[in-house]
């Protein structure tokens, strides 16, 4: 039940690294939107960059902004078209951030993550929590094009992980992995560990993971062959472990110039390097060798058409994310939650915000 004032608490970003909890109006859903009471919003690795202003004029396009996009909640109001499409008050939902316009060539061919009308809300595009309002709030409006119903036996908190898991699944799928294929995962942050779990779920052979410290030990506990990038040459180590061949599939989830180069060096002849990490600078690649050995490098953006599959993997127990869900904070303590996440305090991995 909404209060009579129709206001809510929300995290409002007013400038780079300037934010606070404010009381703002509860939004009213447009015709193809629903209003949801937010249960859980996880801090994504992109959120600190948005908050710090690392993407000026892009994420966000302007201030103020309510960020947050890995979320779940319960529908409390529906727009007229959303209602006609079968969305109802009480529906338990999770979401992804991208909302394509639905009309351009890319959207019509299923690639709404690279919508040709990106950044133009007047043409129907949205990206919740990036440049349109997000989920660090008690309520948020979301396009039904971004929503997914969750099974009755899945908790709302668990369902808030669908967005990052479906990105990891997309990244793994883009390697064109086949059952039994060996794969290298670069990075042991949440995205890398989720990619490792997805690779395992789809039948990978040996799963090598490059990381360091407690996170690498967690990857090993979850079934990976660990490689410490601080004490080893990752590409050389992989080749030593594969009789000099390298691996046919690589997921690059760290986003550094060094890790991207090592990912390309570790790929075997005819291999595919699937990149989800976003580097801060251009990267020098071994193009001569990649051409002669037909090594492909594939860029990935978000999670087109993989959220429903991610929900199935979670609900059927083929992927268990509980070891990654480490911390929970109320919305009022967001600053402390962000410090915990960025500082990896007490083994922080997935840090949940509870707006209500």
Q: Are residues 329 and 224 in the same domain?
A: no
Q: Are residues 128 and 55 in the same domain?
A: yes
Residue 304 lies in a domain: no
- What's the domain range around 78? 7-161+321-354
Q: Are residues 11 and 153 in the same domain?
A: yes
Task: State pLDDT tens for residues 192-217.
Answer: 999 999 999 999 999 999 999 999 99
Q: Which residues of 199-217 are buried (b: 16+ CB within 10 A; e: fewer)?
A: bbbbebeebbbbbeeebbe
Of 218 and 5, the structure prediction assigns the larger pLDDT to 218
Considering the chain, what percentage of its residues have pLDDT values greater than 70?
99
Task: State pLDDT tens for residues 334-347.
Answer: 999 999 999 999 99
Residue 196 lies in a domain: yes
Give the pair of three-digit tokens for residue 209.
């993971």
Count CB neighbours of 297 within 10 A: 19
Residue 314 lies in a domain: no
Write the DSSP assignment of 28-86 as a string of letters. Answer: ---TTEEEEEEEEEEPPTHHHHHHHTSBTTTBSSSS-B----EEEEEEEEE-HHHHHTT
pLDDT at 210: 98
Q: Are residues 182 and 257 in the same domain?
A: yes
Q: Are residues 247 and 197 in the same domain?
A: yes
**What mean pLDDT value characterizes the chain?**
97
Q: Are residues 206 and 113 in the same domain?
A: no
Q: Are residues 171 and 142 in the same domain?
A: no
Residue 336 lies in a domain: yes
Give the pair of three-digit tokens for residue 90.
């009480």
Number of domains in the chain: 2
pLDDT at 18: 98
Task: State pLDDT tens for residues 1-46.
Answer: 676 779 999 999 999 999 999 999 999 999 999 999 999 999 999 9
CATH code of 140's domain: 3.90.180.10
Q: Are residues 212 and 252 in the same domain?
A: yes
pLDDT at 1: 60
Considering the chain, what percentage of its residues have pLDDT values greater than 90?
97
Closest to 16 in 3D by CA, of 41, 48, 42, 46:
48
Task: State pLDDT tens for residues 84-93.
Answer: 999 999 999 9
Q: Are residues 196 and 106 in the same domain?
A: no
pLDDT at 3: 66
Give the pair of three-digit tokens for residue 19.
């934010």
**Dihedral of alpha carbons 63, 68, 73, 79, sign:** positive
pLDDT(136) > 90: yes
- Give 137's contacts (C-beta < 8 A, 6+ positions apart): 8, 9, 10, 11, 24, 38, 66, 68, 331, 355
Residue 307 lies in a domain: no
With bands split at pLDDT 50, 70 and 90, how would you rate the model's confidence at 331?
A: very high
Closest to 338 in 3D by CA, of 65, 140, 51, 130:
51
pLDDT(191) > 80: yes
Q: Are residues 127 and 175 in the same domain?
A: no
Q: Are residues 182 and 272 in the same domain?
A: yes
pLDDT at 2: 77
pLDDT(50) > 70: yes
pLDDT(298) > 90: yes
**Dihedral of alpha carbons 237, 238, 244, 250, sign:** negative
**pTM summary value:** 0.97
Q: Are residues 110 and 50 in the same domain?
A: yes
pLDDT at 5: 79
pLDDT(129) > 90: yes
Q: What is the C-alpha radius of gyration for the chain, rounded to an integer number of angstroms?
A: 20
Q: How far apart are the first and last CA of the chain?
A: 13
Residue 141 lies in a domain: yes
pLDDT(224) > 90: yes
Residue 2 lies in a domain: no
Residue 286 lies in a domain: yes
């Amino acid at each position: 039940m909404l209060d009579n004032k129709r206001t809510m608490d929300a995290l409002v970003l007013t400038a780079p690294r300037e934010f606070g909890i404010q009381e703002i109006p509860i939004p009213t859903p447009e015709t193809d939107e629903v209003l949801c009471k937010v249960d859980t919003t996880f801090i994504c690795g992109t959120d600190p960059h948005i908050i710090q202003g690392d993407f000026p004029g892009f994420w966000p396009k302007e201030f103020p902004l309510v960020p947050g996009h890995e979320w779940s909640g319960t529908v409390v109001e529906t727009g007229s078209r959303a209602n006609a499409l079968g969305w109802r008050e009480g529906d338990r939902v999770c979401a992804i951030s991208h909302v394509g316009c639905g009309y351009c060539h890319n959207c019509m061919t299923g690639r709404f993550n690279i919508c040709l009308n990106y950044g133009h809300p007047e043409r129907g595009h949205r990206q919740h929590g990036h440049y349109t309002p997000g989920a660090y709030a008690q309520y948020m409006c979301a396009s039904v094009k971004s929503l997914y119903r969750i099974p009755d036996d899945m908790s709302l908190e668990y369902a808030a992980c669908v967005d990052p898991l479906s990105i990891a699944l997309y990244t793994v799928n883009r390697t064109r992995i086949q059952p039994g294929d060996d794969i290298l995962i670069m990075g042991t942050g949440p995205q890398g560990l989720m990619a490792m779990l997805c690779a395992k779920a789809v039948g990978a052979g040996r799963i090598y993971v490059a990381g360091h410290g407690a996170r690498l030990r967690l990857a090993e506990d979850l079934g990976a062959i660990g490689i410490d990038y601080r004490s080893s040459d990752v590409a050389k180590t992989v080749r030593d472990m594969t009789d000099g061949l390298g691996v046919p599939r690589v997921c690059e989830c760290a986003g550094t110039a060094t890790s991207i180069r090592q990912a390309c060096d570790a790929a075997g002849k005819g291999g595919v390097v699937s990149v989800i990490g976003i580097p801060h600078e251009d990267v020098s690649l071994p193009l001569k060798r990649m051409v002669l050995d037909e090594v492909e490098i594939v860029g990935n953006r978000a999670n087109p058409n993989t959220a429903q599959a991610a929900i199935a993997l979670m609900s059927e127990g083929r992927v268990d994310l509980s070891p990654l869900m480490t911390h929970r904070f109320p919305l009022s303590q967001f600053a402390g939650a962000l410090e915990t996440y960025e500082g990896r305090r007490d083994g922080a991995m997935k840090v949940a915000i509870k707006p209500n």
